[in-house]
Amino acid sequence: MITMYDIIHNKREGKELSKDEIDFFVNGYVKDEIPDYQASALLMAIYFKGLSKKETFLLTDAMRCSGDIVDLSSIPGVKVDKHSTGGVGDKTTLIVGPLAASCGISVAKMSGRGLGFTGGTIDKLEAIPGFKTSITSQDFIKTVKTIGMSVIGQTAHIAPADKKLYALRDVTATVENIGLISGSIMSKKLAAGSDAIVLDVKCGSGAFMKDFESALILAEYMVEIGCNAGKKTAALITDMNQPLGYAVGNALEVKEAIEVLKNNGPKDLTELSLQLAAHMVYLGEKAATIEEAYQMVRNHLENGAALDKFSQFVKAQGGNNNVIDDYSILPAASFKLPVKAFQDGFIEKIHAESIGKAALLTGAGRKKKEDYIDLSAGIILNKKIGEKVSKGDILAEIHGNNLDSINEAEMIVKDAYSISHIKPMVEKLVKALVTINNVKIY
């Protein structure tokens, strides 16, 4: 007979938990048959003793099976999903979705809202007037069949065990464990029904994983989980030592994403979007090699096909697609405060997490899930790492509707910038590609 006492004891002693033990715990906790104090004890034991890759897969699968599993079988072709582990200014879904869909990939994506300093795709899309992120499953599938893509909010019925366990991890200081992080992310991705998954694992000051080694371990765990579940899975480890692009904040990021789709966007955001979309096209079997896929998505960026797909996507989900030519349709903040350089030199560092926290102060993010979010607020960076500045140049511009919050954010933004007399090296944007049993470091 399996008991929670024995499961906690076994993990405390460093033993590998069986499938039956893991299923007993997950199913019992979802049904409120296991109290928080026992679940907390097990999470703490896992935090210190870790999970093997086998245990991580079994935990992921148990959480995946704890709720609805989306059936996308009626959509023809290979369905490909993309997931980012979260970063400051990361609006790639708004770009890679249309890029991949314009190449014939079916993108049926469930995304989340922002919590903390990392923005959520659903919040960004809702900055577009009329855009609906809550539609029926029938309309969701119909939209993918018709135009090749749809993005909706994740329902409470997808991996409910993860939602409940994450809330407990959050208050018991057990979030930062590779096995638990991997299981949390992949349980939702596997339940979402796609055939292939491209992961963007962020690494740096603005990411959950601060160093390359941790990001690599996380990527390897998630790729192995995906492949063992029968999903073609690959992960790119990408730089988050400074914000991605120049815009941080929901409406501001929508505008920047559209600029990328017009082929006028920042180089880093454009390049990463092309790389991610190329891997989606490759895993979706629309190209024989990554190089062929990359050329395909670049062509669709340059010839306007991806921008046209974005317009179709916005219109299909009730949004005003005139936003493509008229940014005044987007929410705009009442106040804009410039942050100026305090000396001559080169931008040596931009602490991405600090920029994210400053954006949170403006109202662009949430401290708690129920917090109101100001879709117009955020920060526009004028200077990035390696760029030359003179004293008095504008480093960034803070957008918001509360002057007290803006003034508080100004000090954080100013402190986030480091200026040196020596021009620094810029980190590689894409650091590695992780596939099953293979790591390619760039």
Per DSSP, what are the bridge partners of residue 68? 158
List, by residue number, the catalytic residues.
83, 162, 169, 184, 188
The answer to whether 152 touches 134, Cβ cutoff 8 Å, is yes
Q: Where are the beta strands (DSSP E) in 32-124?
A: 80-84, 107-111
The phi-psi region of residue 81 (left if phi > 0; otherwise alpha if psi is between -120 and 50; otherwise beta) is: beta
CB neighbours of residue 212 within 10 Å: 15
Closest residue by Cα to residue 110 from 161, 156, 147, 74: 156
The answer to whether 140 touches 147, Cβ cutoff 8 Å, is no
Tokens of 340: 């100026």
Per DSSP, what are the bridge partners of residue 209? 203
Closest residue by Cα to residue 159 from 62, 43, 226, 234: 62
Q: What is the largest CA-CA distance in the chain?
A: 72
Phi, psi of 289 (to 5 degrees): -140, 165
Count of residues in the chain: 442
**Looking at residue 68, what DSSP letter applies?**
B
The answer to whether 224 touches 299, Cβ cutoff 8 Å, is no
DSSP strand pairing (417-420 vs 345-350): antiparallel
- 10 Å CB burial of residue 120 (0-12, 13-18, 19+) is buried
CA–CA distance, 152 with 165 (Å, rounded to integer): 23
DSSP strand pairing (232-239 vs 430-435): antiparallel
DSSP state string for 381-407: ES--TT-EE-TT-EEEEEEES-HHHHH
The phi-psi region of residue 204 (left if phi > 0; otherwise alpha if psi is between -120 and 50; otherwise beta) is: left
Phi, psi of 17 (to 5 degrees): -80, 145
Tokens of 219: 């990527």
CA–CA distance, 153 with 403 (Å, rounded to integer): 32
Closest residue by Cα to residue 107 from 183, 182, 197: 197
